[in-house]
Amino acid sequence: MQEGQRRGQRELDEKVVKAKFCTACGACVNVCPYRRARRDRIVTLFDCDIVQGRCYAFCPRTGVDLDGLAGSLFDPADLTVELGAVKGIFLARAAGERVRMTSQHGGTVTALAAYALRSSMVDGFVLTQPDASLVPRGELVTDWRKVRACSGSTFVASPSVAAFNMAARGPLSSIGAVALPCHALAYAKMRAMPEDVEPQPVGRPALVIGLFCSWALAWEGLFGIVSSKVGAHEVTGMEIPPKEHGVMQVFTREGMETFGLEDVKRRIRGACHYCFDLTSEFADISVGSALLEEDWETARRWNLLIVRSARGLELVENARRRRAVDVREAPENVVAVLKEASVLKRARALRNLRLRSQEPGDFVYLNTRDPYLAGVPGS
């Protein structure tokens, strides 16, 4: 992939937004006064002629040296072909039963974010919360007691990096963020940018908790399918059990409605088909559902937890010692299934990128010779 000399708003709109690679992560919003998040879309208010822009630099779908990025953020000895940097893989859950029962899966993300705030590891945390129309929005939380209100997911792309960019302009000196894989890659680009390159300070998250993500839904599609049975304002939570269940569950105060998973997947955001990352490989820690052999009601109360960085290890160890989370080693068969799923997503993304570019050696925003992709089928 060859990059031109200009890397500003005009090129971002041409190569990412109009080309439908945009993930709606919000990385270009609030670093540029001319861009806004509208539901799950990024819109340009006015044209900008800037030659080198942070909007382009931070976007997870513009050119990136994955190997160099990983080498600057993680211990090279921890890098693996299947999952990126790994210091350890565990089963984890919130130690408090109330948190487990009211959060997504085991409540690990909620418990760790709350502990990071309570222990002053960070001053604020950017989380995601949907509005009454199921549109997710980024929200800066500074009180650990308010973290649980942001638990759960609507499985819609969230522009939460925009909220981080806004928060980074404020008085807080240390801000954490919960991230999807595209968000985590944007944050990694921010962290890796040399301080002497930009005339203005660049926001850099102090801690990133990544989420496993196979795909995200387009808001319009989700709203349409949910509204066919319940009012969007009635929704209190959503869940997607293992694929053998074949449904998406939508919870309301009156009970639960189910929707066929194949029908739901027809609403997947198009840009997700070009994402190589299942487990948020550029986060400090990554959390997802536990692929246990137990029945779903048991398995859903646990998470898989990947520790990637020294900062992430510090958070997990301290939270475990203070009994904020329960942690134990992940079974080898569970780790093997996760590795296989991760490699399959990488291979599928590379195949789709090659088909999209119509050139065998062109992976659009990825470099075909990037050592980080070595060993992936199709690389």
Give domain limits for the chain: 9-218+268-373, 220-265
pLDDT-based confidence at residue 260 (cuts at 50, 70, 90): very high
Average pLDDT estimate for 313-334:
96
pLDDT score of 54 more than 70: yes
Could you say which DSSP state residue 17 is in? Answer: I
Average pLDDT estimate for 119-140:
94
pLDDT-based confidence at residue 379 (cuts at 50, 70, 90): low
Task: Give the model confidence (pLDDT) of 202-246 as tens digits.
Answer: 789 999 999 999 999 999 999 999 999 999 899 998 999 888 889
3-state secondary structure of 239: strand
pLDDT of residue 76: 96
Average pLDDT estimate for 22-44:
91
How far apart CA 158 and CA 267 sit, in angstroms, is 15
What contacts 9, CB < 8 A, 6 or more positions away?
A: 28, 32, 34, 35, 44, 47, 48, 50, 53, 55, 56
How far apart CA 349 and CA 23 sit, in angstroms, is 14
* Angle 242-247-248 from CA coordinates, rounded to 5°: 95
Average pLDDT estimate for 331-335:
94
How far apart CA 129 and CA 150 sit, in angstroms, is 5
CA-based radius of gyration for the chain: 20
How far apart CA 231 and CA 237 sit, in angstroms, is 13
Element (DSSP H or E) covering residue 337: helix 332-357
pLDDT of residue 32: 85
pLDDT of residue 197: 58
What is the dotted CATH code of the domain comprising 220-265? 3.10.450
C-alpha closest to that of 160 among 189, 130, 133? 130
Task: Give the model confidence (pLDDT) of 81-104 as tens digits.
Answer: 999 999 999 999 999 988 888 787
Sheet holding 303-307, edge to edge: 136-141, 124-130, 175-179, 207-211, 285-289, 303-307, 88-94, 325-329
How far apart CA 362 and CA 2 sit, in angstroms, is 9
Cβ distance 317 to 262 under 8 Å? Answer: no
Torsional sign, CA 277, 23, 261, 303: positive
- 134 forms beta bridges with none
